[in-house]
Amino acid sequence: MGEIIIKIWVDDICPAPDGYIHCRSVNEAKTAIRFYEKNFNDDTILIDLDHDSGDYFNDGGDYIKILDWLEEEDIVDTGYFFHLHTRNPVGAKNMRRIIQRNRWREIL
């Protein structure tokens, strides 16, 4: 894995670690991903995901919708990595299924 340049933290409650862009909703995360995909497409992008969007559900749904969207739009390329920090075991399993089905790279 090369150096990760862009780190997107998607979580409604937990604060983002230093160096991460914090997105609280699905739509906010989509905007960030589109921006970085368009402007920095040679960089490595880490998307670190929770599952449950809590109070932000009305702004795009739970965070698994980000993976659904990436799959539908065929956006993910070799510069993407995923990490799941959710404590929801069923949500993590469903998200992991999408990641594995598409042969995307997950950091455990």
This prediction has a pTM of 0.90
- 2 has a pLDDT exceeding 60: no
Q: Calculate Rg over the CA atoms of the chain.
A: 13
Q: What is the pLDDT of residues 25-36, one digit of tens each?
A: 999 999 999 888
pLDDT, the chain, mean: 91
Rounded to an integer, what distance in angstroms lies between the CA atom of residue 26 and that of residue 100? 21
